[in-house]
Amino acid sequence: MAILKILQYPDKRLHTIAVPVDAVNNDTRKLIRDMAETMYAAPGIGLAATQIDVHERIIVLDISETHDQLQVLINPEITMRNGTFEYEEGCLSVPGIYGKVKRSESITVKALNAEGEPFTLDATGLLAVCIQHEMDHLEGKVFVEYWSKFKQSRVLAKLKKNQRSAM
């Protein structure tokens, strides 16, 4: 297993739309293991393949406090949405930045698991937020892009300042 490099906003590769996975195979499962290791090491609760510059429709997530309940969604598709609410989000590709985003309160998603088997999942609360956030990555969208252009420019300025401080 390997810890992979996470792309940082505003890297243009984060705006690449991911393509469906044709077949779940050993290479797919190795990628999933590497993505999970990367997510846990970051530490985070979700990671889309887009964030590691692999533009396939794969998401790993684990919202458990014990970090032992990994969920894998391959070719996820939201089939139902209910309600709306705001939730404060962060992102491994936008370190140190947090803010509210309006999302569906509950969703139903269909996907394939790591064995390529189809399943349906009903999600609410943090799990629903996490799935929607990661699915945005698969569509080439980063959560800060829900905000005003002014707020986005402030985020970019802060990220640049943080990068200079880290050198």
Percent of the chain with pLDDT over 90: 91
Tokens for 122, please give them.
Answer: 């009903």
150: Cβ–Cβ under 8 A, 6 or more apart, which residues? none
Give the amino acid at 36. Answer: A
- What pLDDT does 160 receive? 84
pLDDT one-digit tens code per residue, 29-85: 999 999 999 999 999 999 999 999 999 999 999 999 999 999 999 999 999 999 999
User: Using an 8 Å Cβ cutoff, are 60 and 24 in contact?
Assistant: no
Residues classed as catalytic: 134
Full DSSP string of 8-19? -TT-GGGGPPPB
Question: What is the residue extent of each domain of the chain?
Answer: 12-166
Tokens for 96, please give them.
Answer: 């140190």
pLDDT band at 163 (very low <50, low <70, confident <90, very high): confident
- What pLDDT does 144 receive? 96
Work out whether the CA dihedral 156, 35, 44, 18 comes out positive or negative. positive
> Has residue 1 got a pLDDT over 80?
no
Full DSSP string of 69-134? --EEEEEEEEEEEEEEEEEEEEETTEEEEEEEEEEEEEEEEEEE-TTS-EEEEEEEHHHHHHHHHH
- Fold for 12-166, please state it: Peptide Deformylase (3.90.45)
**Over residues 85-90, mean pLDDT:** 96
Q: How far apart are CA 128 and CA 121, in angstroms?
A: 10
